[in-house]
Amino acid sequence: MRRPLAGLIAGALLLVTAACGASDDSASPGSSGSGGITTVKVGLIPIVDVAPLYLGQQRGIFAKHGLKLEMSPAQGGAAIVPGVVSGQFQFGFSNMTSLMIAQSTNVPVQAVVNGIASTGVRGKDFGAITVQQDSDIRTAKDLQGRKVAINTLKNINETAVRASVTKAGGDPDQVEFVELAFDQMPAALDGGRIDAAMVVEPALATVKSQGGREITSPFIDVAPDLTIAMYFTSTRYAQQNPQVVKKFQDATAESLAYADSHPQEVREIVTTYTKIPPDVLEQVTLPKWPAEPNRASIEALMKLGQADGLFKSTPDLDKLLP
């Protein structure tokens, strides 16, 4: 009778000491390392869009500017904004509508440098409204009364689809939006559970490989060369560390330009942090990575979002944008 108790206590003690040891080992690495290199944590979704950061890190662009990036791949944007605001990550990646929603509800975020933009080429963008090959939907107007999948309700993709429907002369209020993860859209479309899907890469390539048709490029219907996402930080971090933010802006801008002019290297680096199969990756349409955000396009996105009732108050772009 004594043994099980003693054994259990010994076991528990061992595990608790192991716990202490392990947490000591994983204690957060100093934010400022030797040789003037500052380590910053970046919260991002492991998708093609953020390839320039991985590429810039690999090509030594960030090191040249005195930065070391520690990528924290988060699943979905939901973890990124709170992570940045609470200081777990110094920088994050988020779409413009989410950033404007955050700003309009007084979440202290500040966009610092461009993330990705639409290619601006109709029919050759990285996001599209798609339908099955034999669908009777021909234009965005035909989406009225149909079930259209978007990844998040009341966010950038809803604004984009509504813009396409309006532009085609339809009433977006008659579209039935359903929320579905991008990766589940090809199967749902194929199985006829939805009539159309607003997909982005690599799901777009999968849909096309099944013979799906593109109806329109909704990001282009919002604005030409729409700035879709940006890297951001918390206003507090930006105030306290202006020089780190400046370094991050410069290094990221340089990495974006490098990625834009080296698409083959982008496709190679993507395989290091995603599992996109090679045959799909070849078909993927890459986004544009201009170094500067397109303010006019963000204003257009804001006006549409406001009309759709996404914001509690008018987002202050002068405060939000760098």
Q: How far is the CB of 110 from another protein (least distance, A)?
A: 18
Nearest to another protein of 19, 153 (CB atom): 19
User: What gap in Å lies between CA 179 and CA 65, rounded to an integer?
Assistant: 41
Nearest to another protein of 18, 307 (CB atom): 18
Nearest to another protein of 203, 245 (CB atom): 203
Q: How far is the CB of 6 from another protein (least distance, A)?
A: 10
Cβ neighbours of 127 (radius 10 Å): 26
User: What gap in Å lies between CA 90 and CA 237, rounded to an integer?
Assistant: 7
The string of DSSP letters for 296-319 reads HHHHHHHHHHHHTT--SS---HHH
Distances (CA, A) of 280 to 54, 138, 206, 217, 276: 20, 26, 7, 20, 7
Residues that bind another protein (CB under 8 A): 1-2, 4-5, 7-8, 12, 15-16, 18-19, 22-23, 26, 28, 41, 43, 45-47, 72-76, 78-79, 82-83, 85-86, 88-89, 181-183, 186-187, 190-191, 202-203, 205-206, 210, 273-277, 280
Q: How far is the CB of 127 from another protein (least distance, A)?
A: 14
Nearest to another protein of 45, 63 (CB atom): 45
SS3 of residue 68 by DSSP: strand
Partners of residue 68 on adjacent β-strands = 39
Residue 132 neighbours by CB under 8 Å, 6+ apart: 189, 190, 192, 211, 212, 213
Q: How far is the CB of 47 from another protein (least distance, A)?
A: 6
Nearest to another protein of 98, 164 (CB atom): 98
Nearest to another protein of 1, 136 (CB atom): 1
Q: How far is the CB of 16 from another protein (least distance, A)?
A: 6
Positive or negative, the CA dihedral 157, 163, 165, 167 is negative
User: What gap in Å lies between CA 43 and CA 89, rounded to an integer?
Assistant: 6
- What counts of helices (H) and strands (E) characterise the chain? 15, 10
Q: How far is the CB of 296 from another protein (least distance, A)?
A: 31
